[in-house]
Amino acid sequence: MISKRIERLNSLLKEVISDIIRKEVRNPHINGLITVTRVSITNDLHHAKVYVSIMAPDVQKQETLMALKSASGFIATNSSKQVVMRYFPELTFKLDDSVDKHLRIESLLHEINLERKSRTDADETDEADEADEVDEAEEIDDANEVKDESST
């Protein structure tokens, strides 16, 4: 179980690192659409995983992640000026693909709903066609009965 102190540090580091990336990191490979989704610091406070979501094509995501990894020392140094700790943790950047997974699930659910709707519409159309066929068959039977009565 995570202690309250570590939870507070995770939240504080998330805000500070996000701010440093947005305002102070000047790397052309770092895309402007980066979100720090969460930070997970170890119990000994020496290592922290920083999960980032990058809204870009896959190639650009990898370039941005590599640029963040190379700038991790700079980011840690500037963050340590704002967060007073005995030891500032070593930062490891990880790509958080939960947003992509969420979008994929949403699109699948949308496709399922469209297919259900088309099947429901098709069933209603089939039922209407069957009813028309039954009506036509009854009319033909009635016409045949009329012919049979008139021939006798």
pLDDT tens figures, 8-40? 999 999 999 999 999 998 888 887 689 999 999
- Residue among 64, 65, 80, 95 at smallest CA distance from 17: 80
2-11, 83-92, 121-130, 137-146, range with the lowest pLDDT: 137-146
| 3 phi, psi to nearest 5 deg | -75, 160
Q: Is 19 in the same domain as 88?
A: yes
Q: Which of 66, 81, 96 is the last residue of a domain?
A: 96
Counted domains in the chain: 2
Q: Is 16 in the same domain as 83?
A: yes
Q: Regarding beta strands 47-54 and 34-41, do their DSSP bridges make them parallel or antiparallel, or are they unpaired? A: antiparallel
Q: Model-level pTM greater than 0.75?
A: no
Q: Is 92 in the same domain as 102?
A: no
Provide the residue type at 42 as one letter: T
Q: Is 18 in the same domain as 77?
A: yes
Domain housing 32: 4-96
Dihedral sign for Cα atoms in the order 120, 122, 124, 126: negative
